[in-house]
Amino acid sequence: MRLKPLLGWAAVVVAMTPLLLLSGVDRSEAGTFEPTLKVTLDNPEPEQSSNTTVDFGVPAGDVNFAAVVAFVPKDWGVVRGKDIPIGTIVGELSSTATLGLINSACNTALPVEFTFFNSSLDVNDTISFYDEDDNQTPDFYEDKDKNDVPDGAERYPDFIKRVLDDKDGNPLQPIRRSAGVTVVAGTAVLLQFLLFEPGTVIDEALPSDPALGYPSVTLLQNAGDPDVVPAPGPITDFCSPLVSSNVAYGQTEDGSMKLQVNPKDGTYQFTVASLGLRDADGDGYENNFDTCSLVANEGDPRVPNSGDSDGDGLDAACDPDDDDTNSDEDLDGYLNRGDNCPLKANGQPIEPDAPTADETNQEDKDLDFIGDVCDPNPDTANGELIFKQITQDVKIGTGTGTGGPPAGFGQGSSGGGDDDSNTGLIIAIAAGVAAAVVVVGGGAYLLMRRGGPPTLFIHPSSFILLRRASSSPGRTW
């Protein structure tokens, strides 16, 4: 089934930081990618349930990330999602998205908050990311039974099966899924953390050593869905800096159920494997952010009007006329900054399944964010993905013990996963919800090996803030 092209494209979200940081940035060297990680436990005592906070960021001026997978130490007491009622609040994330709207530089900071619900793992009971019932609200965002739990948590979003599968095309089965929804710039947004058994191959380009622990994959919108159809939208850039803080709760708000349990006394390592986006011309700006992706920019596209005297989003280095504002230079319907070939028409085909040479709708075979119609090597990605693996040791108790899973977890216990008999030991996920990571469209390489670019879909009518599913964000206890 082809998805309706009414949803717009863009890039997207999560995390952020004040713009103050932006103004001082002046770089012309090749792109850098130095993400940061900080893991903090409210209560680091052995075998206790503790809130776990994971701060993940990409510094100002760095290229943004293509993909991020966090690993929760294998001895952590991870309570399986099937042992927690669907709809239970399991965590929260706060961030500020730094966005470029409608061809502007990165000058819009939007605070974004999510409350996460324990969510269905049933891959056979799915829900759409789109508005299949035409009521102006994407199906995942609705709450048809009005129980304050979004339908995208109560049922399994079908695109996940297309984004995360094994070599044979079978969907990967998560052991826990935490989903949250909100509205950003008029767009309904879905953010999810999926936790898998240690050793699960998320993508061949990412490490899968079971010793790293439970891989936690963050999915933002339907990034990576091969069925995606790009469409123009108002969010034209997703910028660094990126700052996000994610809290995975240790237990439910009323204290009646554990959601995760610290391991025994010892020192444990959290790991985040990530990839920075490609920068073909080595000027410090990743391809999907760089309107002149094959030639070094004169200005800094993160700063308003820098190197762009007519303010149309096209740097003077490749603007055919930098004194004449043309917000959509090639008139293909995609604003310059939201167009993977800003100087060559590659807009939406008139007939959905019959693209013409000039209407390839942002087609990008090698997923390097340079559209096929302007890519000098359309079958070979231009620029390198930057792989970074960062770790942090976390001490439990004195930190000097021999370690091991808490009682009830680990091999042979219910924590291993299959036996629900031991309800008192509900394992947790820790940070599964760990890193506040986001998979930005495209970079997608990994998570999106097959698919398209978009990450944030704009739904014009969701401008009206739909009833926010659920409880207040930011609860503490």
Where does this chain bind Ca ion (CB under 5 A)? 281, 283, 290, 292, 297, 308, 310, 312, 314, 319, 322, 330, 332, 339, 341, 346, 364, 366, 368, 370, 375
**Whole-number Cα distances in Å, 83 to 80, 180, 250, 331, 377:** 6, 19, 14, 53, 49
Q: What token pair was written down for 370?
A: 């340079």
With respect to Ca ion, which residue has the nearer C-beta, 160 or 335? 335
Cis peptide before 349 (omega within 30 of 0): no
Q: Which amino acid is at 365?
A: K
| Residues 208/389, Cβ–Cβ less than 8 Å | no
With respect to Ca ion, which residue has the nearer C-beta, 369 or 409? 369
Q: How far is the CB of 375 from Ca ion (least distance, A)?
A: 4
Q: How far is the CB of 66 from Ca ion (least distance, A)?
A: 14
Q: How far is the CB of 384 from Ca ion (least distance, A)?
A: 14
Q: Which residues neighbour 50 within 8 Å (Cβ) at sequence distance 6 or greater?
A: 41, 42, 43, 44, 250, 260, 262
Give the 3-state secondary structure of residue 309: coil
| Residues 111/95, Cβ–Cβ less than 8 Å | yes
Cα Rg, the chain, nearest whole Å: 22
Q: How far is the CB of 240 from Ca ion (least distance, A)?
A: 16
Q: How far is the CB of 169 from Ca ion (least distance, A)?
A: 24
What is the signed CA dihedral for 411, 413, 417, 421, rounded to 10 degrees? 170
With respect to Ca ion, which residue has the nearer C-beta, 142 or 375? 375
With respect to Ca ion, which residue has the nearer C-beta, 79 or 105? 105
With respect to Ca ion, which residue has the nearer C-beta, 42 or 366? 366
With respect to Ca ion, which residue has the nearer C-beta, 249 or 445? 445
With respect to Ca ion, which residue has the nearer C-beta, 96 or 297? 297
DSSP letters for 130-192: S-TT-SSS-GGG--TT-SSS-HHHHSEETHHHHHSB-TTSPBP--SEEEEEEEEETTEEEEEE
What is the signed CA dihedral for 232, 238, 239, 243, rounded to 10 degrees? 160
Q: How far is the CB of 5 from Ca ion (least distance, A)?
A: 16
With respect to Ca ion, which residue has the nearer C-beta, 139 or 290? 290
Q: Long-range contact list for 293-297, CB < 8 A, 24+ apart?
A: 293/369, 293/370, 293/382, 294/318, 294/370, 294/376, 294/382, 296/28
Q: How far is the CB of 463 from Ca ion (least distance, A)?
A: 26
Q: How far is the CB of 371 from Ca ion (least distance, A)?
A: 6
With respect to Ca ion, which residue has the nearer C-beta, 239 or 314? 314
Distance CA 379, CA 331 (A): 25
Q: How far is the CB of 412 from Ca ion (least distance, A)?
A: 49
Give the 3-state secondary structure of residue 206: coil
